[in-house]
Structures are given as structure tokens and as C-alpha cells.
Amino acid sequence: MSYPRNEQTIANPQNEIRYSFGKNWAEFIEKNFSERIVEESRKHLAAFIRTDSLAGSRFLDIGCGSGLHSLAAYRMGAERIVSFDYDQDSVATTKKIREHAGAPANWTVMEGSVLDKAFMESLAKADIVYSWGVLHHTGDMWTAVRNATMPLEPDGLLYIALYSSDNYVDPPPEYWLKVKHDYNRSGAIGKRLMELRYAMRHLIIPELVSGHNPLQVMRKYGSRGMSYWTDVKDWLGGYPMDFASLQQTEVFCKNELGLDLVNVLTGQGCTEYLFCNLKQNPHWRSVVDLRTLIPLHGPFHHNGGNAYAIALPQLESQADGPEAPRRSKLMLYEDRRMLGLAHSMHDHIVRFGKGRFSHYGPNLYLSASDNTDPNTNGRLYAYCEEF
């Protein structure tokens, strides 16, 4: 069964060009590999799946790229690791990382495609299926998501990251698809100029305006162990590309795959999702059951456009701020349904709303799922401090 596209999914009609992710990852590992970035990757993985050990678990890394996250799983004691990628350069780089780890017998690296149903059916079952920033680059994202679950154990975890149409509204996804097309058509000098323009617009100038040193921000950049310039190239070059909203991804995985959304991390280009069948997974069922929803009692103060605000001074030390823009772990609920769109830009809450929110400083800035007034729409709003 195919999943219908709507205005929240933007796809490339023709995959006439394809970015070479493998060369980017090979360069990254050659120039930046260190124990520090391995540890950053390990910590990110452990925090999101809520465990420090993968002992006894079988880990499948779809689109393994640099092999860094497979190495993180190995360091966490995974019983078996299988890493595969469509790109031969990524396969070669992951093999080098495996050799760095001592070429362990329980770690297999291979070439393959998540769109190849026969290949996916041939893989051994896995307790954790991991695919970060990959499935939306296949040219057929929903088939890729569906195929990714073929090796998943009934009580297993699906950890995926997809580019979110919720975050790309100004400029919209169509703009970025053109940018990516132009980047891949450019020569070496053209690519460097586009990378510099992107960095100037999205990091250097904003940090200077905020009184920060952009070079220091770049040096401290450590998203899952990645470097800033590697991620810039990955973003501008990533083609083909699909975008999907949080709501669309949640509905697809629930209705098509029978999986529940149990953890989510939003606010950047990729939204990270953790899915499982709660009836089959007692660990995450207990985590979900222990989440306490604390009611929000208005009034909610209109903050312009679709945005409203309510003070939460008791949680200010846990909130986002200039030095920690993604520190808050607060999750907002509307009639007991997770809104999900945390760490949203305040301007986007005002202009677009649709459940976007931000726990920033002493306040919670929010919008209703349908942009109605939360003071009068008759819905109950609540939050969970540690989602």
C-alpha cells in the first residue's frame, strides 16, 4: 500500500542526480575522527533510547555513512551489529572504522539498499533498527520507512531521523530542493561559495549579532559527533530529498506499521523519532506510563499571531536559553495528545502556529494545533517535564 503525499511531503519527481554522501563521510573521518566524537555519538544514542548498555541487543544501521554510529553501538556492548549502505565509499569508510575497533567478529559491514525488498528480507532480525538522516534521501521515503521495519523484532525499537517540513516553512521545502539541485550541478568553487553563503546566513551573522564568536560555536559543534562543515555539505548536497511533518510520520508509522511514537526530538533540520509497539515492549511501556502530565491553568497571554505564553518560573533552570537552545526536555500536550514541535522559533510560533512551542527562559510559548485561542477552545493543555 502506498502512502498518499500531501502538502507536507515534498519529493523529487526525478532522481536525475544523486549526492555522493560517501565521499563526504570519508573526508570527515579522515580529518575529524577522534574518541571525542565517538563518545558524543554514544551519549546521543544512549540518551535517546534511554539505556547505557546494548548488551544482548542486535543493532542494524541502515545507511551507515561514516560507521560512527555503528561504532557507538559497539562501544555500548551490542551483541551483533550489521551496517550497510548504498554508497560504496560509505561502505569502505565503515569498514575502516570497524578495523579501528579491532575488526570484531560480531560486526558485519555490507553494501545494500533499503529499497531492495529481497535484501531487507534476507537480513537477520534486529532489536534496534537505526537510520539517521537516510530514508528521506532514497527517492521513495515511505517505502524506505516500511522496508526498514522488515528486520525489526516485534518488541524492537525503530530509531529514524527524517527531514521535517515543520521546520522548513520560511523558506519552504521547494526552495531547498532547488538549492540542493543547484549545489549538485555546481563545480568545486561554486560549491564552496554556496557553503560559505549558507554559513554566513545561518550561523556566522546570527552569532555575531548575538554577541557570540561564530568560530567558537563551530569548534564546539558536536551534533552526534559531526563537524559543522561536514553537516553543511551534507545538507546542501543531500539529493534526492523528501520532507515530512511530525504528524504525518507519526500517523504513517501507527496506521501502516503498528508502531507507537515513544520519543521525539525536534527543533533542527531532522526530527528524530523512536517508535516501538508498546504492547510488545515493556521497558518503553513503563517509561510512558510513568510520564506525569501537569495541567496548565490559564490565562494564556496572547503573544502575537498564533502565539500565546504562560509563565513557568519554577522550570526556568531547565528551559532553553541563549547558551543552551535545546536544553529543555518539556513536552506539551493538548487533550492528552503530544504536540511534539518543541524548540520552535518564536517567530514561527507567531506566524505558523499549528502546535509549535518553545520552553524558553521563564515562559512557555505555545500555539494550538489548529491555531485557535487556548483560552477559549475548550481544550486541556498540560506538560510533562521529562519526556
Bridge partners (DSSP) listed for residue 262: none
Cell of 13: 519527481
CA separation for the pair 23, 19 (Å, rounded): 9
Q: What domains are defined for the chain? A: 1-289 (3.40.50.150), 291-384 (no CATH)
CA separation for the pair 41, 69 (Å, rounded): 6
Low-confidence ranges of the chain (pLDDT < 50): 1-15
Pairing of strands 126-132, 152-163: parallel
Q: Between 21-32 and 88-100, two packed helices, what is the crossing angle to 10 degrees? A: 30
CA angle (321 as vertex; 317, 322 as ends), nearest 5: 140
The pLDDT score that the predictor gives to residue 323 is 83
CA separation for the pair 151, 128 (Å, rounded): 9
Mean pLDDT computed over every residue of the chain: 91
Q: Between 21-32 and 228-237, two packed helices, what is the crossing angle to 10 degrees? A: 180
Cell of 29: 573521518
170, with CB counted inside 10 A (0-12, 13-18, 19+), is exposed
The pLDDT score that the predictor gives to residue 226 is 61
The pLDDT score that the predictor gives to residue 77 is 98
pLDDT, one tens digit per residue, over 310-334 is: 999 999 999 999 888 889 999 999 9
How far does Cα 65 stand from its chain's mean position? 15
The pLDDT score that the predictor gives to residue 222 is 56
pLDDT, one tens digit per residue, over 256-294 is: 999 999 999 997 778 999 999 999 999 999 999 999 999
Are the CB atoms for 59 and 276 separated by under 8 Å? Answer: no
**What is the pTM for the complete model shown?**
0.86
